[in-house]
Structure 1
Amino acid sequence: MLSTYQYPKFDYVRPPELDEGRDGHYPVVIVGAGPVGLCTAIDLARQGRQVLLLDNDDTVSIGSRGVCYAKRTLEVLDRLGCGEEMVQKGVSWNVGRTFFREDEVFNFNLCPEPDHHRPGMINLQQYYLEDYLVQRARKLPNLEMRFRNSVIAVTPGEDQASLRVETPDGTYTLTTDWLVVADGARSPIRTMLGLDIDGKIFMDRFLIADVVMKADFPTERWFWFDPPFHPNQSVLLHRQADNVFRIDFQLGWQADPEHEKKPENVIPRIQAMIGDDREFELEWVSVYTFQCRRMNRFNHGRVLFVGDSAHQVSPFGARGANSG
């Protein structure tokens, strides 16, 4: 539960296959209603393809998660029909500053020329992006979305793929000419098929704190190495919509994630950064370890892997959702 956002609850609708007593067939089935799965579904439907999108949940992402969307991503969202909502709601920025202790040592401008249609970046919580994409998807007559439909088995074939899908009312079977897998970094379907994903897990931990506060910080990305308020580590600050600020604290590999997420441990870190006299409210807290991994092949016959199910990168530089 967030103080600044009301989570939607998408209706579960009983699939017709459960009543008709036969397998369903769709030209394209996409698994995963995150940003990449939704964008893929909308793009195909706009081009006249009949698409079925399955997701095991019934709402948008919990917590802000991906927050930075680049100019090229905004151009793609313009084409899909929801770029304007993103820019109007999000916080636009072009300038990034890097500090060593208290001194600025580097800065950049993502939009050095005037009159660009879109900013270099916007910051907006991922749940807004998913919400806008779902609203857009519902306007396309050849795009069907089924929530609380969990894929429990996949059988690839030369010309089709077969799926077994579990719902609150029972299980059913689908076939599809093309199965697009966008079920995230842990990808249950990738695991089902016994497919590889190679790379490196970085031995470090980072604390994400989304903080609601009224502050006069400029709409810029600020990054500190070894700041006085968090010595020997790094800190990242981004402003988001609704007066929410994303703060990332580097913790080190030995940090206990559950211990670090407790408010009594998070609040002193933020107070050391912004001062004891500034009022703020914790919105969302998480601890993550990032990975740089990818599948050796993204296409396996009629099964295509996209987004985090296919490739995972460091979140620094906003490469995750944007590359997806």
Structure 2
Amino acid sequence: MRPKGRDELDSLYFTYPKFHAPTARDRLDARTPVAIVGAGPVGMVAALTLAQYGVRSVLLDRKDTFNDGSRAICIARQSYYILEQIGAVQAFLDKSLGWTTGRSFYRGQQVLEFQMPDSADEKYRPMYNLEQQYIEQYLYDAVATNDLIDLRWTSELTDLTDVADGVELRITDANGSYVLPADWVLAADGAHSPIRSLRGLRLKGQNYEGRYVIADVQMDHDYPTIRRALFDPACRPGGTVLIHRQPDDIWRID
């Protein structure tokens, strides 16, 4: 959601690229060891991990750009070890903000401060803040230069069929449709997964409904990079407000 008069992809800090469906059609239906549906962080990391073991994959996404809006910003230490293994960590280190401290406030008074386990022997900080747009951009940069990964944008899965030696995916894009045979298919297409819908499956786990206001605001302030949680604040009686500093003087208010 954007203020009135702003486009959905208008951003204070990020310029969204525009991707197109493949124009060369002669090899689109060539068999692949793994087809990955969903080119978000999970799908791209999966493709890069497979490539580390010499496994080719076709990575499909129905969108024409990265995920937009105020999404994930906190990355745990273990994820940086994974990014290191797939050769993508340096861009994350150059941009993200590391942190160890959290403070909680009740009605304006601090009631808690914690420090996440950290030491000089650790290679990475316990947590890092980085907007998801950059997460996807840096993973895409690694994917785009990897010859073992064929990334196809605006390519929507419309059918999935089991066959004797694997699966067949019906893919539709702006230039037509085709069948992609694969040994394996990996569902990285989110909680509202088209693959689950085609198979009559549901995401297992607990869920609940709630209404949230999430905003990224630009502010030049030298307040440290920590996690702040405000309980029953004057601006939101009875509610909770989380505040995180991000790169580029962007602050997440949740």
TM-score, length basis structure 2 = 0.91
| Greater relative contact order structure (CA < 8 Å, 6+ sep) | 2
Equivalent in the alignment of 2:50 = 44
Equivalent in the alignment of 1:228 = 234
1:204-215 matched pairs, under 5 angstroms: 204-215=210-221
Is 1:121 the counterpart of 2:127? The answer is yes
Decide which of 5, 10, 17 is 2:19's aligned counterpart: 10
C-alpha contact (below 8 Å) 1:100/1:227 kept by paired residues: yes
Paired with 2:124 and 2:222, the residues of 1 have a C-alpha distance of: 24
Equivalent in the alignment of 2:91 = 85
Report deviation, 1:64. Answer: 3.3
Give structure 1 stretches of 5+ with no counterpart.
249-324
C-alpha contact (below 8 Å) 1:214/1:243 kept by paired residues: yes
C-alpha contact (below 8 Å) 2:167/2:182 kept by paired residues: yes
1:15-34 matched pairs, under 5 angstroms: 15-16=24-25, 19=26, 23-34=29-40
Is 1:76 the counterpart of 2:82? The answer is yes
User: What is the number of residues matched between the two proteins?
Assistant: 245
C-alpha contact (below 8 Å) 1:7/1:59 kept by paired residues: yes
User: Secondary structure of 2:214's partner?
Assistant: strand
C-alpha contact (below 8 Å) 1:46/1:140 kept by paired residues: no
Report deviation, 1:69. Answer: 0.3
Report deviation, 1:155. Answer: 1.1
Report deviation, 1:12. Answer: 2.8
AA of the residue aligned to 1:12: A
Paired with 1:205 and 1:67, the residues of 2 have a C-alpha distance of: 19
TM-score, length basis structure 1 = 0.72
Equivalent in the alignment of 1:109 = 115
Paired with 1:67 and 1:45, the residues of 2 have a C-alpha distance of: 26
Q: CA RMSD in A?
A: 1.6
Report deviation, 1:24. Answer: 2.6
Call closer, same or farther: CA 1:44–1:199 in 2, change over 3 Å.
closer
Give CA-to-partner distance per residue, 1:179-202, whole Å, 9 cap, x none: 001011111111111013344432
Report deviation, 1:15. Answer: 4.9
Give structure 2 stretches of 5+ with no counterpart.
1-9
Give CA-to-partner distance per residue, 1:223-250, whole Å, 9 cap, x none: 01111222111110001111110001xx
C-alpha contact (below 8 Å) 1:155/1:161 kept by paired residues: yes
